Structure 1
Amino acid sequence: MPYEALTLSTRAPVLSWAGHELGHTEAQMARNVAALPFVFKHVALMPDVHLGKGALVGSVVATQDAIIPAAIGVDIGCGMAAIKTPYNATQLEGKLKQIRLDIEAAIPTGFNENKEIEKTVLNWQGWQQFKQLHPGVENLESKALKQMGSLGGGNHFIEVCLDAEEQVWLMLHSGSRHIGNALAQRHIDTAKGLAKLAGEKLPDPDLAYFVRGTAEFAAYWHDLQWAQGYALYNRKVMLLRFQRIVDRHLAGGKPMKPLLEVNCHHNYAERELHFGEEVYVTRKGAVRARETDYGIIPGSMGAKSFIVKGKGNAHSYCSCSHGAGRLMSRNKAKTAFTLDDLIAQTAGVECRKDAGVLDEIPGAYKPIEQVMANQSDLVEIVATLKQVVCVKG
């Protein structure tokens, strides 16, 4: 679907792939971002766009000489990882529940962390830079080590999926855990403090920013890249552990060779070239989708997910959606749906079916098929997946 240029009377235009009119609060949030003097060219809204903090989730913001910490968010480097295996559906028969139980035993979820630190974790080169991170996180190194290879909570998940050819895929969603949150919060507080000290009137306090060339900008950019590296490696550690479990059940423990591997962020910022200029691109709930990029767009825990390849659409800053996007808040979902609804909507999926995951019910999310239809000019679908096992954070 081609984008729509929204009529918001802003300094920078807002281009939307949402396919629907924004709500009042959503429109104001888009207006606030597009009004900032350092926003480059335009703001791009993905098909799964919805309310966030400071900036909309599902927005792509390119900036010159400035960066907005809260626009990236507190789960720095949150993203997806997946591998296509040589296994097929028949090999899974009768094994789904035990695979789920083994995943839950091997990979900590929620606030849990690993009791032991494995060698793979210690091999990450980022640990050498830990002492150069923001003052105040020194005492978090042990926690960061133990949380490497853990899922977290909220909408994070681990899934065994099947594609249209009945081939088995392993997929998961996670980010930079507590250390990423701690770093983000400290820098957000610093940015807000600077804005207050300067007497700057921002359209939203959460749009406080750092200016390139300042010590604060340099410190944030360093910690941002570190946390993004942590998140990427965190997914790699979990995927290796996940693969060992599936190999044990389907191949007697013999390691398989993945047919395709994808590991991509959807909450992050990078320095990129767009429209002939180098800019800082913040993707808050969006995946990079250059022509050479593979990406992952998950649905809900009862819906399809998609492995995609980018089309390099310049107007979206070579980006696409990061998922279906929430249709309602977590609190609203808990009151709008019952446990019976959850059981019905996750039929055929080996997963928890209790009140603790009711806020993640498929009905709380936008229809993923419509989201995909709205971004046919951003990505091509490589594989369509349906989960048979789902472990929630």
Structure 2
Amino acid sequence: MPPKKAGSKLLNWASHLDDNALAQARETASMPFVHPHLALMPDAHSGMGSAVGTVIPTLGAVIPAAVGVDIGCGMIGVRTGFTKSDVGGRDLSVLRLAIEASIPLSMGNYNADVHAWDFTAPKLAELEGMAAANSVDLSHSPKWREQLGSLGSGNHFIEMCLDETDQVWLFLHSGSRGVGNKIAQKHIKIAQRLCAQWWIDLPNKDLAYLPEGTPEFSRYIKDLRWAQRFAYLNRAEMMDRFGAVFARWMGTENHLELERVNCHHNYTVKETHAKKDVWLTRKGAVDAHEGVKAIIPGSMGTRSYVVIGKGSASGLCSAPHGAGRRFSRTEARKRFTLEDLRNRMVGIEFRDGEEFVDEIPDSYKDIDVVMADASDLVTIEHELRQILNVKGT
């Protein structure tokens, strides 16, 4: 749908938007260095400081809390050469348990052995080299190597899906884990301290920013880029493991990878918009430049989409990152039960338990409404429906 003007320097693509998210977006749009405007994505909802689903272009400054604490969080999907008929009749619970044994799940769970998989070493070497070349201080996270290839919790997930032609896709959602969180928290505090020191009057302390040209800004950008690369390789590592256990489950040595899409949806990058170079923060949004592929997941139990960007200038070449929460986790637990979750997951192999009730599809926006709202931002290439879901607690 075409956007609606929702305030000074604010365009909104969300047909359903809570009042708090709108208020947060207006606060962010009021920052003097925003150019040319903020874009609220169809899945926008309340977040820390800035609404999730906000695309924020800034001149000469970056807001660390707007980037968020899960730097580089995003999606990866692999289209395989297998079809529904190839996997039909096989025990999905065996595959699910194999995934859970190969990829550490939930907060604080890391790898016991970083040498267990042959394909891990090159990724660690790249990250070590990048950290050394840019003097990235990782002393706050001595176990960052053990975190590579771990999922985390919350709305992070691993899925096996079928597309509209019944082709099998491997699919997962995760970010920069504990090390990214530590990097984010460090720079959020620095930005808040500096803004207070400079007597800068902020609409919200989580809109504290780092001005370009300062040592603190340069340090943040170097650390940020490292964390974004960690998140990208973390997804790649988990997908490599997923592919290996999937192939073993299929009784073959090769999972026949035909295509791979790996995209961030919580990150900052230098781009040109409205004829100016800006720092573009996509807080819960994907790159949708013309021809660029991305992944927009639904919730557990609903459809997900592989899309191609249309390069919308007013949308800042961006698109939504998922369904977006409708109810908070606390509210979801008040409204729904384990039995409700089981009823919504009929026909899908998943981890059963009370701890997953707050992830029930009903606590999220309708993904079909989100995609309809995003029709001038992206073209849908594939529609995926899951047959297996794994989440951390």
Q: Which residue pairs with 1:214 in the alignment?
A: 214
Contact 1:83-1:258 at 8 Å conserved across structures:
yes
1:62-116 residue CA offsets vs partner (Å, 9 max, x unmatched): 0000000000000000000000001011222222110001000110000211110
Query: Share of identical aligned residues, percent?
Result: 46
Measured after TM superposition, the shift of residue 126 of structure 1 is 1.7
CA deviation vs aligned residue, 1:289-327 (integer Å, no higher than 9, x gap): 111211101111000000001111111110000000000
Matched, 1:79 2:74: yes
Does residue 172 (structure 1) correspond to residue 167 (structure 2)? The answer is no
Q: Are the equivalent residues in 1 in contact too, given 2:34–2:58 (CA < 8 A)? A: yes
In structure 2, the partner of 1:336 is 335
Q: Does 1:32 align with 2:27?
A: yes
**SS of the residue 2:257 aligns to:** coil
1:134 & 1:248 partners in 2: Cα distance? 38
Q: Shift of the alpha carbon at 1:384? A: 0.5
Q: What do you get for the CA RMSD once the two structures are aligned?
A: 1.2
Give the SS at the match of 1:138: coil
**Contact 1:95-1:249 within 8 A present in 2 as well:** no
Structure 2 residue 47 is the aligned partner of structure 1 residue 57: no
5+ residue gaps, structure 1, are: none
Of 94, 97, 105, 1:101 maps to: 97
Give the Cα separation in 1 of the matches to 2:91 and 2:287: 35
TM normalised by structure 1 equals 0.96
User: What is the number of residues matched between the two proteins?
Assistant: 385
Q: Does 1:374 align with 2:391?
A: no
Alignment of 1:308-319 (within 5 A): 308-319=307-318
Structure 2 unaligned blocks of 5 or more: none
SS at match of 1:46: strand
SS in 2 for 1:291: coil
| Offset from partner CA, 1:258-284 (integer Å, 9 cap, x none) | 222100000000001122221110000
Corresponding residue number in structure 1 for 2:350: 351
1:133 positional shift = 5.1
Q: How does 1:245-284 map to 2 (within 5 A)?
A: 245-250=245-250, 252-284=251-283
What is the letter of the counterpart of residue 103 of structure 1? I
Counterpart residue identity of residue 39, structure 1: V
Question: How does 1:126-165 map onto structure 2 within 5 Å?
Answer: 126-130=127-131, 132=134, 135=137, 137-141=138-142, 143-165=143-165
Q: Distance in 1 between matches of 2:225 and 2:388?
A: 32
Q: Match for residue 226 of structure 1?
A: 226
Partner residue in 1 for 2:62: 67
CA deviations over 1:237-273 (Å, ceiling 9, x no partner):
10000001111122x2321332221000000000011
Structure 2 vs 1, CA of residues 256 and 338 (structure 1 numbering), >3 Å: closer, same or farther?
Answer: closer
In structure 2, what is the Cα distance between the partners aligned to 1:71 and 1:148? 24
Q: Partner letter of residue 232 of structure 1? A: Y
27-36 vs 224-233, which deviates more? 27-36
SS of 1:59's equivalent?
strand
**TM-score, scaled to structure 2:** 0.96
Counterpart of 1:16 in structure 2 is 12
Residue aligning to 2:109: 112
d(CA) in 2 for partners of 1:41 and 1:139?
37
